[in-house]
Amino acid sequence: MKKFVFAILVANKSGVLTRVSSLFTRRGFNIDTLTVGETESPEFSRITISMMGDEYIKAQLMKQLSKLHDVKHIEIMHRDETVTRELLLIKVKNSSETRQDVLSAVDVFRSKIVDYSPDALCIEITGETSKINAFIELVKPFGIMEMCRTGIVALERGCNCLRND
C-alpha cells in the first residue's frame, strides 16, 4: 500500500463532488483527504484527493473516474514533481507554565499565532503532511483543545498544468 495523490479537474457544477466521492465508496476505496475549490477558470473546479492503495486501486480509480461525464482531466501527482501543502488550525491550551514552549515551537515551525486568549492559543501552520504531523505531535503534551486540517492541495512543479489547452 502506497500513498498517492490525484488531481482531478471537474465541471464546476453542483453535485459533481458527490459523483466523485460516491465512486470511491461504491468501489470500496477509502479517501484520506479531499479538497475542492474553483480554479482560475470558473468553468472548472479542482479536486485533490489523497489516499492509500496499491497499483490495482490506482489504475481502477484513474479509469473509473475518467468515465464520469463531469470529470475533464485527471492526473496522479508524483511525489518528486509535486509541491504539496496542507493547512492546520490548532487550538492549544494557554497557561503560564507552557506558554514559552508553545511559542518556541511556533517559531521553529515557522507557524503563527492567529488568536490569543487567556486560556487558549490558536496557531496556523502550512506545510507538507509530515511537517503538520510533527507539529501536532510536538504540541500534544501542552493540551490540544481542537484542531482542523484542510487535507492536501497539490500542484505540479515547472510549467506543466492540469489543463493544457
Q: Which is nearer to other proteins, 19 or 131 (CB)?
A: 19
| Contacting other proteins within 10-29 (CB under 8 A) | 15, 18-19, 22, 26
Question: Can residue 63 be called a binding residue for other proteins (CB under 8 A)?
Answer: yes
Question: Can residue 58 be called a binding residue for other proteins (CB under 8 A)?
Answer: no
Strand partners, 145: none
For the chain, state the CA radius of gyration.
19
Q: Which is nearer to other proteins, 58 or 99 (CB)?
A: 58
* Nearest approach, Cβ of residue 24 and other proteins (Å): 11
C-alpha span between 128 and 155 (Å, rounded): 12
Q: Within 28-128, where are the H helices?
A: 55-67, 99-108
Nearest residue to 111 via CA among 97, 96, 92, 93: 92
What are the angstrom distances between the C-alpha of 73 and each of 40, 94, 98, 124, 160?
Answer: 15, 46, 48, 32, 14
Q: Which is nearer to other proteins, 64 or 98 (CB)?
A: 64
Q: Which stretch binds other proteins (CB under 8 A): 36-44, 68-76, 112-120, 142-150?
A: 68-76
Question: Can residue 130 be called a binding residue for other proteins (CB under 8 A)?
Answer: no
Question: Can residue 59 be called a binding residue for other proteins (CB under 8 A)?
Answer: yes
Cell numbers at residue 125, please?
Answer: 501552520
* Nearest approach, Cβ of residue 117 and other proteins (Å): 38
Contact 94, 138 (CB under 8 A): no
Sites of contact with other proteins (CB under 8 A): 15, 18-19, 22, 26, 56, 59-60, 63-64, 66-70
